Amino acid sequence: MNKDWVLTQESFDALLAWLDPNREQAARKYEDIRVRLIKIFTCRGCSEPEDLTDETINRVAKRLKDIEAEFEGERTKYFCGVANKVHLEYLRRKRIPAPPNPPRDSAETERLYSCLEKCIDSLVPQSRLIVVQYYQEEKQAKIDHRKRLAEQLGIALNALRIRAYRIRVSLQECVQNCLEQTAM
């Protein structure tokens, strides 16, 4: 996946304008497309449907200047076509390690939490803040909290999702390695 390109406000505005000249209608279409892509990736068994959806949207926005003048037809179908390509890449790349099995006794639970604390402590302060703050709250409060966190950090919500995902993957690997080392 292309990690170098990020969705800017200008690119996002252009994407909305491409979806519909009326900004409110464009916003509704964007949300409908986003929800549909998340459902598609979820139904295909992807472990990170939101991240794959963001990647799909980023790719469409990146290519928008090349396609907007010539494209005819339903915009949603174009997003779905790009999503198919993103899904194929997802299937080819390395999968994130599965989280460790739930502990069976208190000693195993203690070992798991000890490893988790050790791994969280090894993170740089900003990464620690992101991972702890990102996974707080539930439902709408979680969404609002993540928006505030992105604003606080001065980054786009999509960038926050990507950072949190990368931190989570590194934490899972760290905890798995720690558990394997302490089992010996």
Q: Can you give the pLDDT of all 184 residues of the chain as single tens digits?
A: 455 667 788 889 999 999 999 999 999 999 999 999 999 999 988 888 999 999 999 999 999 988 888 888 899 999 999 999 999 998 888 666 666 666 578 888 888 889 999 999 999 999 999 999 998 888 888 888 999 999 999 998 888 988 999 999 999 999 999 998 987 6
Residue 34 domain-assigned (yes or no): yes
78/115 same-domain check = no
Of the candidates 172, 78, 50, the one whose C-alpha atom is nearest the C-alpha of residue 116 is: 172
| pLDDT at site 106 | 83
Residue 49 domain-assigned (yes or no): yes
Residue 80 domain-assigned (yes or no): yes
Residue 99 domain-assigned (yes or no): no
115/84 same-domain check = no
CA distance 82 to 33: 12
Residue 101 domain-assigned (yes or no): no
SS3 102: coil
85/126 same-domain check = no
| pLDDT at site 95 | 61
| pLDDT at site 184 | 66
This prediction has a pTM of: 0.51
* Domain span including residue 69: 9-92
Alpha helix (H) residue ranges in the chain: 9-19, 23-43, 49-67, 75-92, 106-121, 125-134, 139-153, 157-183
- Residues ≥6 apart with Cβ < 8 Å to 115: 174, 175, 178, 179, 182
| pLDDT at site 35 | 94
CA distance 179 to 166: 20
Write down which residue in 46, 64, 92 finishes a domain: 92
Residue 58 domain-assigned (yes or no): yes
Q: What's the DSSP call for residue 149? A: H
| pLDDT at site 93 | 81
Write down which residue in 92, 123, 156 finishes a domain: 92
| pLDDT at site 96 | 60
| pLDDT at site 98 | 63
Tokens of 17: 């304008």
Write down which residue in 92, 115, 136 finishes a domain: 92
Domain count, the chain: 2
Residue 100 domain-assigned (yes or no): no
Residue 70 domain-assigned (yes or no): yes
17/85 same-domain check = yes
